[in-house]
Amino acid sequence: MTCRLSGRRAVYAALSGFMLVAGAQARIHGESALAAYNNNASLAFLQSHVEYGERLSPPNGAYFDTESGFIKGGRFAASGMRTAGVRNVYFHISYSQTDGSLTYVGAVHYRNGTTSPLTESQNAQMTDIGLRLGQGFMVANDMMLIPYIGYGFHHWARGEPASLTAPYNYYEGYRNQYAAFGVLWQVELFRRLVTSLNLAYGRTIHPTMSAPALGFAEGLGPKPWRRAGVDVDYLVGRHEAVFVSATFTEFQYGAGPIVVGTHGFYAEPFSQTEITNYAIGARFLF
């Protein structure tokens, strides 16, 4: 996989630039402006770069197979900030779906124990739901820090149509929930420009894999979950804003147990997934 770290490097570079610019060019607008800004709903177009790999011996062993490429989709999100007994209570919800084709590089495994190399395009559809709950604190006249707890759900439908190597519609479904602690750092750089840095760390919950065509499903091991992202918003009107963002998410699944399926014994290996979402969209402030 030749571009394995490209998404991570791009997001981390953007985060570094965010911190440098924030420190040098911040302007004073106050708590009320940032609190009001956090009451919004948005729609965005997503371009997602996916890197997936299964390893024979985790965490740094040789790859058993890989899957990578770009898929496209959209995201809806809404957030609010209210004072109800507690000052600046923050909540956020998001839903996204992307689909397209990824390039699989691996091998065909035959019942006699032999293998042959295989590179092909496979269908992919990813669905993500995320929730956050936290509280905002002003750390400067134009900077707000929002620690939060997060919870989410991820589903990847991975498969291929009928072919010579798979004379049936082969499909695998990967699912997991996650719980995380995070922090959102928001800065008003100029009167109409708001930037946000998001860092979160957590763990996958109840990851599973199913392969209906092979007649088996199994639970996988919970592993670390990480996210880093940056948003840049420009207010074009009193209630309207446009934005761009880049978010890097990485998580792992532990190897599953040996289970019996329709055609023999199966076991899902350790795997690692990296997803970099590039977004452009519009936001409505209310």
Q: Determine the pLDDT at residue 30.
A: 53
Q: Which of 162-171, 204-213, 266-275 has the lowest mean pLDDT?
A: 162-171
Residues in the chain: 286
**Percent of the chain whose pLDDT exceeds 70:** 83
Instruction: Check residues 76 and 26 and name the one with the higher pLDDT.
Output: 76
Q: For the residues 101-124, what does the mean pLDDT come to?
A: 81
- Give dist(CA 21, CA 284) in Å, integer: 25
Q: Which of 171-180, 241-250, 261-270 has the lowest mean pLDDT?
A: 261-270
- Give dist(CA 286, CA 171) in Å, integer: 42
Count H helices and E strands in the chain, helices first.
2, 14
Q: For the residues 85-110, what does the mean pLDDT come to?
A: 90
Q: Which of 7-21, 102-116, 175-189, 200-214 has the lowest mean pLDDT?
A: 7-21
Q: For the residues 57-74, what does the mean pLDDT come to?
A: 88
Q: For the residues 188-195, what does the mean pLDDT come to?
A: 87
Query: Does pLDDT of 134 surpass 70?
Result: yes
Q: Which of 19-23, 102-106, 155-159, 258-262 has the lowest mean pLDDT?
A: 19-23
Instruction: Check residues 242 and 265 and name the one with the higher pLDDT.
Output: 242
Q: Cβ neighbours of residue 145 under 8 Å, at least 6 residues apart?
A: 136, 137, 138, 139, 183, 184, 185, 186
Q: Which bin fits 85, alpha (ψ -120 to 50), beta or left (φ > 0)?
A: left
Query: Does pLDDT of 103 surpass 50?
Result: yes
At 263, is the pLDDT very low, low, confident or very high (cuts 50, 70, 90)?
low
Average pLDDT, the chain: 85
At 257, is the pLDDT very low, low, confident or very high (cuts 50, 70, 90)?
confident
The DSSP-derived string for 228-262 is EEEEEEEE-SSSEEEEEEEEEEEEEEBPPPPEEET
Q: Cβ neighbours of residue 113 under 8 Å, at least 6 residues apart?
A: none
Nearest to 64 by CA among 253, 207, 222: 253
pTM value is 0.84
Q: Determine the pLDDT at residue 110.
A: 64
At 153, is the pLDDT very low, low, confident or very high (cuts 50, 70, 90)?
very high
Long-range contacts formed by 15-24: CB under 8 A, 24+ apart: 15/197, 15/228, 15/230, 18/195, 18/197, 18/230, 19/197, 21/189, 21/195, 22/143, 22/187, 22/189, 22/195
Q: Determine the pLDDT at residue 5.
A: 41
At 39, is the pLDDT very low, low, confident or very high (cuts 50, 70, 90)?
very high
Single-letter code of the amino acid located at 133: L
Query: Does pLDDT of 186 surpass 50?
Result: yes
At 21, is the pLDDT very low, low, confident or very high (cuts 50, 70, 90)?
very low
